[in-house]
Amino acid sequence: MDAEKMSGTASERPAATAIQPDFATLPRRVAADGRANLVGLTRERLEQALADAGVPARQTRMRAGQLWQWIYQRGVSDFDAMTNLGKGFRADLAAAFTVARPEIVTRQISRDGTRKYLLRIAGGHEVEAVYIPEEDRGTLCVSSQVGCTLTCTFCHTGTQKLVRNLTAAEIVGQILVARDDLGEWPKAGERPPERRLISNIVLMGMGEPLYNADNVRDAMLIAMDGEGLSLSRRRITLSTSGVVPEIPRWGAEAGTLLAISLHATTNDVRDVLVPINKKWPIEELLAACRAYPRLSNAERITFEYVMLKGVNDTDADAKRLVKLIAGIPAKINLIPFNPWPGATYERSDWDRIEAFAEIVNRAGYASPVRTPRGEDILAACGQLKSATERARKSRAAIAAEAGLG
């Protein structure tokens, strides 16, 4: 899809935009001074990087484990503070590597405590991450791409022109930055607290995570690793608009919980709301859900359903919805539409949302209505979009600026 087509408000965009495969990830060159970032490297790649830097083969595994603990369990980015490593080794590391995170450009705190971070990544590109504190948990909503190649007509991110995939470092880096800001690193000798400020991760920020599946997987494997961020697999949820062929691979390689942006109960309506439906229609999407590994009451699929006034919110829709998902252990997350400047949709009325929820609930599915969080700072679902809209650029120009590939 050319950038022209992706621009403009929902009303200007053609309803039937062709689906394009995603940009390949632009391979990342090392930092300008030649040092490579250790954040986001898989264990294997970290061990290889250490070997390349002269660490003896029999030590690479142990060294990689030590580095992971400093980076992901203590939040340390200065090699000099890694006190269980010898002085000489620390100096060697500092000469060859960095431990770099995205930079916080702005941080907004909502009246309800939600925090939205605008982060700058290589090349001056920007993405957002949102922290949502709740009574029993704290959820970080993480972005996977700058903008999105898809053009769901109700989504603000879908109007953003500039797109590139985030690297694994930039994805896991969002978690590190949020933990920095929340002051959530245990001090030396302290045990990590029982209740973590960031207890859950949702891949529901900007971008379609399954169009950047390899990097998102590498980042989440670090998040789940006992020597990494130590988050439980069942506290990580990936949300997809329905990239059907990637769903089984995600199940096999990462196996986190899954959320599906369903949003409609007929292909005609879904073709307009979530245009990727023209490539992989509802039946194929639900077949992939039925085959998802470990699907059970303990590991239900979440179906996200944005409530759009007069578009997808009738009783008939609710009834069709429960028929469609019959047999799938599921919960239905009803999301009142969050408006953004230029949007052409309206939020369903409250009594309509309740009537819809009631039908779904009576059919035996939990149907929580997602309370919009951080609305005053445009941090709610589908409102994310880098503040700075940039001129249309070629892929080559983006790559050159980012110091990539």
Residues that bind ligand SF4 (CB under 6 A): 148, 150-152, 155, 157-158, 207-208, 241, 261
Per-residue contact flags (x/-) with ligand SAH for residues 228 to 247, judged by CB under 6 A: -----------xxx------
Local structure of 335: helix, strand or coil:
strand
**155 in active site:** no
At its nearest, how many Å lie between ligand SF4 and the CB of residue 61?
38
Beta bridge partners of 237: 202, 257
Interface residues for ligand SAH in 155-194 (CB under 6 A)?
155-156
Could you say which DSSP state residue 208 is in?
-
At its nearest, how many Å lie between ligand SF4 and the CB of residue 280?
12
Whole-angstrom distance, CA of residue 258 vs CA of residue 242: 11
Residues in Cβ contact with 289 at an 8 Å cutoff, skipping those fewer than 6 apart: 247, 258, 260, 295, 301, 325, 328
Alpha helices in 276-369 (DSSP H): 282-290, 315-324, 350-362
Cα dist. 347→129, 150, 211 in Å? 24, 22, 28
At its nearest, how many Å lie between ligand SF4 and the CB of residue 240?
8
**For ligand SF4, the closer CB: 261 or 367:** 261
**For ligand SAH, the closer CB: 121 or 262:** 262
Q: Is 204 in the site for ligand SAH (CB under 6 A)?
A: yes
41, 306, 334, 399: residue in contact with ligand SAH (rule CB under 6 A): 306
- Tokens for 349, please give them: 């009325």
Q: Which of 164, 124, 123 is nearest to 147 (CA)?
A: 164
Give the residue closest to ligand SAH by C-beta. 382
Partner touching 119 among ligand SF4, ligand SAH, none, CB below 5 to 8 Å by kind: none
377, 382, 385, 402: residue in contact with ligand SAH (rule CB under 6 A): 382
At its nearest, how many Å lie between ligand SF4 and the CB of residue 172?
20
Do 102 and 168 touch, CB atoms closer than 8 A? no
**For ligand SF4, the closer CB: 101 or 164:** 164
Partner touching 304 among ligand SF4, ligand SAH, none, CB below 5 to 8 Å by kind: ligand SAH
Partner touching 337 among ligand SAH, ligand SF4, none, CB below 5 to 8 Å by kind: ligand SAH
Kindly report the three-state secondary structure assignment for every residue of 38-69: CCCCCHHHHHHHHHHCCCCHHHHHHHHHHHHH
At its nearest, how many Å lie between ligand SAH and the CB of residue 190?
35
Q: Is 154 in the site for ligand SAH (CB under 6 A)?
A: yes
At its nearest, how many Å lie between ligand SAH and the CB of residue 143?
8
Burial class of 183 by CB neighbour count within 10 A (0 to 12, 13 to 18, 19+): exposed
Cα dist. 342→95, 235, 321, 336, 400 in Å? 49, 34, 29, 17, 32
Partner touching 251 among ligand SF4, ligand SAH, none, CB below 5 to 8 Å by kind: none
Whole-angstrom distance, CA of residue 237 vs CA of residue 253: 14
Catalytic residue among 47, 126, 128, 304: 128
Q: Extract the runs of DSSP E, i.e. beta strands, from 17-163.
A: 36-37, 97-98, 103-109, 115-121, 125-133, 138-141, 145-146
**For ligand SF4, the closer CB: 139 or 151:** 151
151, 160, 256, 338: residue in contact with ligand SAH (rule CB under 6 A): 338
At its nearest, how many Å lie between ligand SF4 and the CB of residue 11?
15
Q: Is 215 in the site for ligand SAH (CB under 6 A)?
A: no
- Tokens for 95, please give them: 């000469």
**For ligand SAH, the closer CB: 222 or 264:** 264
**381 in active site:** yes
85, 122, 223, 335: residue in contact with ligand SAH (rule CB under 6 A): 335
Local structure of 378: helix, strand or coil:
coil
Local structure of 135: helix, strand or coil:
coil
Do 160 and 393 touch, CB atoms closer than 8 A? no
**For ligand SF4, the closer CB: 55 or 262:** 262
Binding positions for ligand SAH, rule: CB under 6 A:
152, 154-156, 204, 208, 239-241, 261, 304, 306, 335, 337-338, 381-382
Active site residues: 128, 381
